[in-house]
Amino acid sequence: MSLSLTLVRHGESEANVAHMLSGWMDVPLTERGRHELEDLRLSVDYPKAEILFSSPLQRCRDTAAILFPDMLPIVSDRFKEIDFRSLEGTILHSKEEIRSYFVDWVADRPRKDEETFTPVARRMGVTLETTARDCLEKGIRSATVVMHSGIMRVGLITLFGMPREDFNRMSVANGRGVVITFDDDARPLQWRWL
């Protein structure tokens, strides 16, 4: 028995628009983000899930309610975004500033006290493998997690042994994501964009 685990990024948030490091801050979706999610619900073939998980942050819970209105998510702190700690709320004003910050972040060179790539990779590797194992032990063959772009990319890199620099080359649009296939021993086999 294998598992199809779909990871979906939350809709556009006010922090996304402001280019803000929001991390664990509870920022809402924008109205445009809500409308885009409604459109995506009708136009994207999201894999049918037997179980739905979500980050506890409002932008993810609201996304789950819009995209999967007939499902009640299991909310878990395991799916929270990168913890930017004292940098949360910081606005990165240009594409160059964003690129520069995340080049340092991926190399484990923190600007202050934020969670860096290596601890996030450990956290997300364990989280995704544990989620897959738990689902398989319960006989679940398809699950969806509404989460955040940062941890989604780190999780993929970790599970599939990709270079950490791929973090800055990957882009996950709001409301989109990836589908990961795990074998019956909860080993990741392959992934594809949603």
| Cα 131 from Cα 139, distance rounded (Å) | 12
| Annotated binding-site residue? 122 | no
What the block records as the tokens of 5 is 């685990």
| Annotated binding-site residue? 174 | no
Q: What does the CA dihedral 171, 83, 98, 152 come to, rounded to 10 degrees? A: -10
| Annotated binding-site residue? 141 | no
Order the strands of the 188-193 sheet from edge to edge: 74-75, 51-54, 142-147, 3-9, 177-182, 188-193
What the block records as the tokens of 173 is 């649009």
Got the DSSP string for 89-114?
Answer: T-B--SHHHHHHHHHHHHTT--SSS-
| Annotated binding-site residue? 10 | yes
| Annotated binding-site residue? 15 | yes
Residue 190 CA from chain centroid, whole number: 17
| Annotated binding-site residue? 13 | yes
| Annotated binding-site residue? 153 | no
| Annotated binding-site residue? 59 | yes
| Cα 64 from Cα 52, distance rounded (Å) | 8
| Cα 131 from Cα 180, distance rounded (Å) | 12
Which amino acids are annotated as binding site for substrate, given as ranges? 9-16, 59
Which amino acids are annotated as binding site, given as ranges? 9-16, 59
